């Protein structure tokens, strides 16, 4: 592990946000397995891999149980390889059976979805009857819990297969619920897993824009849990940027924004004014993580806005549409009516691969166990056996999390209010326990702010009954 001082140093010298290629060439061909190949992440993540300077090629192996989406994606990736002029370097393979694909893999990119389209209305509508109003509902609360109950058993089975077929592979998880996925993997498996979210990259750029400074000149530190990681330091040329951001946020919440865009993202701004720092995730997600903003209609009206800014039922309504639109875009990619000439993105996957293969240190923000590899806690005032999001250095030795130290007490306390939920939810998944799932929701900040324990029990049982086809193993 690396100290906080080293973390700050890398903020200045090299970060995934810079999108500059690392020096040198990769020493060997590699095998990258894409699980949930029908995911909307796949085309651009694989394009990023092809864009690694000096890559030696290898194999891109696709796995999905949906045959139509799998073989459509296989055609898209073959076309991408040709468009990048690398058809002599890269082999593309595809199978519905991961056992046929995992052997000798170097990297596993996990983007699976388990019964999401079939259950997304249950996840949203049944809790809403009890007053639990969700915007996204895929990482915490009733929606996040039941997505985890469906998804994580499959993920843990995948990790068991990885231990057999590719024990030295690095698992890069993009699937939500991120904290619960990584926590369960850390407790029940032996693979090296890091959870990757783009909220820290996106928010760092957003804050630089709001402060009117170049992102490459802003010095910052961020730590906490996924979707509730705090930018505890924001400076430009040694000057604290928070006084300016606080002033602007106060004007925005008072209804006097300097431009129309500033009328959005009010939950994060209000939390910053009251807790002292800005948080990594959008107001829509964040509002679900807290007991404050979604428990009354007047609060939702005051602080929540459209789409990712807090709209009620946004994800449940839009997710099936997004999935259908993604399928439509793939057809356009194949017939040439949609371009596949993309620059390398800031998603972490290819930067991790490049740093590890070239043994060239690179900074990311990843979700890892707080007691990573049995060491002391990365964040001192969060539980040692919890999952945290911290700066990590990547080199030839893999993922090396930095030791953050102590979060400011009020920020740590808000993060800790989630760890009990995640603890029992992970137990529910690993032991297939309905009772642990019920008690997890009793500790969820938003649900417990709205419902009594008996109401939460009734609601959770109704969710199990509605989704029994997708949750057959929970006693």
- Active centre residues (catalytic): 198, 289
β-pairing, 58-63 vs 170-173, is unpaired
**Residue 37's closest CA among 123, 83, 81, 101?**
101
Phi, psi of 28 (to 5 degrees): -155, 160
CA 408 – CA 380 distance, rounded (Å):
11
User: What are the percentages of helix, strand and coil residues in the chain, rounded to 5?
Assistant: 50, 15, 35
Show the tokens assigned to 195: 């959870």
Contact predicate 143/313, CB 8 Å? no
List helix spans (H) across 342-444.
Answer: 348-358, 409-431, 434-442
Sign of the four-CA dihedral 309, 313, 314, 315: positive
SS3 377: coil
CA 297 – CA 294 distance, rounded (Å):
7
Show the tokens assigned to 406: 């102590």
Contact predicate 147/115, CB 8 Å? no
The strand pairing partners of 224, in sequence order, are 229, 389
Cβ atoms within 10 A of the Cβ of 40, count? 16
Contact predicate 225/386, CB 8 Å? yes
Cβ atoms within 10 A of the Cβ of 329, count? 15
């Amino acid at each position: 592990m690396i100290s906080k001082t080293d973390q700050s140093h890398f903020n200045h010298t090299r970060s995934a946000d810079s999108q500059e290629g690392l020096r040198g060439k990769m020493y060997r061909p590699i095998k990258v397995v894409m699980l949930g190949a029908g995911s909307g992440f796949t085309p651009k993540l694989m394009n990023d891999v092809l864009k690694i300077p000096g890559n030696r090629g290898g194999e891109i192996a696709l796995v999905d149980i949906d045959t139509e989406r799998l073989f459509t994606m296989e055609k898209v990736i073959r076309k991408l390889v040709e468009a990048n002029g690398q058809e002599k370097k890269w082999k593309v393979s595809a199978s519905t059976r991961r056992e046929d694909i995992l052997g000798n893999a170097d990297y596993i990119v996990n983007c699976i979805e388990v019964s999401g389209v079939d259950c997304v209305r249950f996840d949203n509508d049944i809790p809403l009857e009890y007053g639990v109003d969700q915007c996204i509902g895929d990482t915490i609360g009733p929606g996040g819990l039941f997505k985890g109950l469906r998804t994580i058993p499959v993920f843990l089975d995948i990790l068991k297969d990885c231990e057999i077929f590719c024990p030295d592979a690095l698992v890069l998880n993009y699937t939500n619920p991120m904290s619960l996925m990584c926590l369960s993997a850390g407790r029940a498996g032996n693979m090296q897993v890091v959870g990757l979210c783009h909220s820290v990259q996106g928010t760092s750029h957003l804050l630089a824009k709001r402060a009117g400074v170049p992102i490459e000149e802003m010095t910052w530190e961020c730590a906490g849990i996924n979707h509730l990681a705090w930018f505890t330091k924001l400076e430009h040329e040694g000057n604290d940027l928070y006084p300016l951001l606080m002033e602007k946020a106060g004007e925005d919440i008072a209804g006097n924004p300097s431009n129309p865009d500033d009328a959005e993202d009010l939950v994060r701004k209000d939390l910053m004014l009251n807790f002292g720092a800005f948080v990594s995730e959008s107001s829509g997600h964040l509002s679900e993580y807290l007991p404050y903003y979604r428990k009354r209609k007047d609060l939702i009206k005051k602080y929540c806005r459209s789409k990712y800014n807090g709209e009620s039922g946004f994800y449940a309504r839009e997710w099936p549409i997004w999935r259908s639109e993604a399928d439509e875009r793939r057809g356009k990619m194949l017939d040439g009516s949609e371009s596949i000439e993309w620059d390398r993105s800031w998603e972490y996957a290819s930067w991790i691969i490049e740093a590890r293969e070239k043994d060239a240190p690179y900074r990311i923000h990843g979700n890892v166990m707080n007691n990573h590899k049995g060491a002391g806690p990365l964040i001192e005032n969060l539980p040692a056996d919890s999952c945290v999001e911290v700066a990590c250095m990547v080199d030839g030795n893999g993922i090396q999390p930095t030791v953050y130290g102590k979060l400011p007490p009020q920020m740590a306390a808000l993060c800790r209010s989630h760890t009990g939920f995640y603890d029992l939810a992970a137990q529910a998944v690993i032991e297939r326990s309905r009772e642990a799932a019920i008690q997890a929701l009793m500790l969820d900040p938003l649900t417990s702010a709205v419902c009594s324990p008996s109401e939460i029990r009734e609601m959770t049982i109704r969710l199990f009954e509605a989704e029994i086809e997708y949750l057959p193993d929970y006693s």
